[in-house]
Every structure is written in C-alpha cells, then in structure tokens.
Amino acid sequence: SLTPAPHRIAVVGGGIGGLAAALSIARAGHHVTLVEQAARFAEIGAGLQLAPNASHALDDLGVLGAVRRTAVAPPRLVMMDALSGDEVASLDLRSAAYTRRFTYPYLVTHRTDLHAALLSACQEHPSVALRTGHTVTHAEQDGSGVRLHFAGTSSELTADAVVAADGLHSRLRRALVGDGEPVCSRYVAFRGALPTDRMTGRMSQHAASEAVMVWAGPRMHLVQYPVRRGELYNQVAVFESDHYTPDSDAWGTEAELEERFAGTCRTVRDALPLIARDRRWPLFDRLPTDKWVHGRIALLGDAAHPMLQYLAQGACQALEDAVALGRALGRFSDPADAFAAYAGQRRERAARIQTGARRFGEICHLEGMGATLRNALFASRGPDDFDDVSWVWTPAPAAVTAP
C-alpha cells in the first residue's frame, strides 16, 4: 500500500509516552510538534522496570541500544516475605525458558536515562519539533484539523491531529472523557535511587546480585533494584494509609511509613532509613474507558489508561501505545481512521492490565491466612514458569487490517 501523505501531528506532553509517540509518528513519515508545559524536559529521580514487551517496543522505536547502555538486565525477579524475610518465589530472567518465550530482555533503568534516550532520538529526528514552556489549556477540532490553545499566550498551534500524552491529570482527557478525577488508592509511595555503595549488610548482597527484589507484606511492600550500570540502587516503599483525606497531603506521612514497616524483617528495616523521603507519591488510577479517541484527538499513556504500578506496566503500556499509533498512522491516510485503528488495537489489552494491576496489588498486600496461601501458591511455581506473567509481558500482535 502507498505511504500516506505526511500529516502535521501535535503531541501534548513530553513524558516517556509523549516522546515515544513523537518518535514513532515521525518514523512513520509525519511531521510532529511536541509541546511540554515544563520549562525543560525531565523525569523524576527514580527507577523504572521495563518488561520484555517494553524492550520490544523500544527496539521498534530504534532506541533499545541506547537504553541498554545504562540499563541493567537483572538475572532474577524475587518475591520475599517482608515479615519473615524468607524467599517466597522467583523468576529466572536469564533462563532458556524466558528467552524462548519473550526474546527481548527484562530491563531496569533510571527514568532519566530512558527519558534522555527518547529525547535525544527526537532531537536528532528532522521531523520532530520540541517546545517547552507550553501549557495546553484546551483543544478545538473540526473535520479537517485541531487547534491547541495555551495558557498565558494568544498564540495557537494548528495540526491535522493531536495526541494527548499529558499524563494522569490530563486536561484533554477531562474535556473528552468526563470521568471526573483520578481514583486515589489510599496507598502512597516513597521512592528514589541512591549510590549502591550506601547499601550495607544483607542489602548490599541483594544489590550486588542485581536481582529485582519485591518484599511483600500486609498493606505494604518494598521494591529494590539496581539502575544505571548498577551504580545506583532504586528503592520504592509503598503502603496503605489509615488517615486518607481527599484534598489534603496530611496522610501517608513519613511517620506512617515507619509505623507500617515497623514489623518487617531486619533486612527491610535496615533499608528504611535509606529510602528517599523528600517527596511522597499518592497512588492513583482510573477505571478503563472506551473513549480513547475523539475524531482527530487520541489519548496515550497515563492520559488513556492510568494504572496502579503493581504490575510495573504504566510506561511499558505507553511504549506499546506509541508503537501501535505510529504503525496506524503509517497505514491510514485519514488520521481519524488511524486513531480509530490504534484505539481498536490497544484498548482491550491496556484495560486488562489496568484492572490486573489493582488485583495484583491486593494479592501483594494480603495479611494473615491470605498471605500464607499466596506464598504457598507462588512457591509452587518454578523459576522458569512464566504462565502467570506471560499475558502481561507479551505485546499485542500488530494489527493486520489493510487501509
């Protein structure tokens, strides 16, 4: 089939989803202008797990090599009981069974490193224009294009179509889907990466092993893994607050963190003082929506499918979105048709992962008998048994619809 004539596509938001989308759309032969509200492009100082569906997508985007230069390929994913300190189960990410099933590596990376790899690929692409300091207030569309309006200026941007990758609190989604505010889970995360040599005792052995460690306990968990060639160690402590109040930050405090983790094993308690405290992240998601596309405006990443992080898939799904969107724009001459095809390919899978993430969080945070049963069930699985995770880690097959 003929390659569609180039469109002018605007992407709103320069996070991992927006940059990946800009790159994918440009590689499909279109012109992209990406607008980001912040004064400069940046990600936060914490880690990100990239399951093989994400490394597959990064390969499709041409940046897997750049990401692998700093990312770590952990040998194992280990679930520990946060109370007893015993190993519950593990997955061998270097086994023949893993490679046969997934082909692509399981990676862990610093967010800044992934973001920088995507940003420099966008900067190097002649069809991508990047603008910071532009906050989109609203969008208007008619049958032939979309007009974006910005805060604090009367200048506008017109495009043939718009991709809204403006994150969890997406303004464009609010106008288009109308499903209110994101849902707060009453859980909160404290996270950050620190020099690996600051880890001591048993923790330094875990860090040296380069495994992803998940310490699961009652209404709390701790995740740890190395990033940036192993030089930094990422830690994410997550717990449910008993003091949640909407419209206030006075819940999920450091004091509650100490309290919730007080009954954990020695190794977890030793890690506690080294967990970043400078900022807390209340954890939100939404119920899946079918309304990903409205004519010439499409949602992508957290704007489309914000999810709890328990399957570590939010960014992975944004990368899958970006690949699917680029493919669709490479096949259909009308952007609205391409967006409809994109949504058709992605909606169901992202929705399953959104709901699956909630469920896995509940399993992770079980107490008492529930936790005992969970541990027994997980322990019955061998380290090369990927049946439970395979549906998450395997990207949706590329659509084969002809234009």
Residues noted as catalytic = 225
- Is residue 160 within 8 A of residue 8, CB to CB? The reply is yes
Sign of CA dihedral 242, 243, 245, 251: negative
Q: Please, what is the minimum distance in Å from the beta carbon of residue 44 to ligand FAD?
A: 8
Q: Please, what is the minimum distance in Å from the beta carbon of residue 402 to ligand FAD?
A: 30
- Is residue 308 within 8 A of residue 182, CB to CB? The reply is no
List CB contacts of 95: < 8 A, sequence separation 6 or more: 383, 384
- In whole angstroms, give the CA distance from residue 185 to residue 183: 6
Q: Please, what is the minimum distance in Å from the beta carbon of residue 200 to ligand FAD?
A: 24
- Is residue 388 within 8 A of residue 378, CB to CB? The reply is no
Of the two residues 305 and 331, which places its CB atom closer to ligand FAD in the complex?
305
- In whole angstroms, give the CA distance from residue 280 to residue 180: 23
Give, as one character, the DSSP assignment of residue 177.
T
Of the two residues 338 and 392, which places its CB atom closer to ligand FAD in the complex?
392
Of the two residues 81 and 320, which places its CB atom closer to ligand FAD in the complex?
320
Helix/strand/coil (H, E, C) string of 50-68? ECHHHHHHHHHCCCHHHHH
Of the two residues 4 and 167, which places its CB atom closer to ligand FAD in the complex?
167
- Residue 58 tokens, joined: 């990064």
Torsion angle (degrees, nearest 10) of CA 354, 385, 51, 297: -30
- In whole angstroms, give the CA distance from residue 51 to residue 361: 17
Q: Please, what is the minimum distance in Å from the beta carbon of residue 403 to ligand FAD?
A: 28
Three-class SS state of 126: coil
**Strands (DSSP E) along 218-286, which ranges?**
220-227, 232-240, 280-285
Residue spans of alpha helices (H) in 109-247: 111-124, 171-176, 201-209
Of the two residues 196 and 313, which places its CB atom closer to ligand FAD in the complex?
313
* Site residues, ligand FAD (CB under 6 A): 12-18, 35-38, 48-49, 134-136, 165-168, 171, 189, 191, 236, 281, 283, 301-302, 309, 312-316, 318
Of the two residues 239 and 332, which places its CB atom closer to ligand FAD in the complex?
239
Of the two residues 90 and 354, which places its CB atom closer to ligand FAD in the complex?
354
Instruction: For residue 306, give the H/E element and its range.
Output: none
- In whole angstroms, give the CA distance from residue 97 to residue 112: 31
Q: Please, what is the minimum distance in Å from the beta carbon of residue 49 to ligand FAD?
A: 4
- In whole angstroms, give the CA distance from residue 14 to residue 322: 13
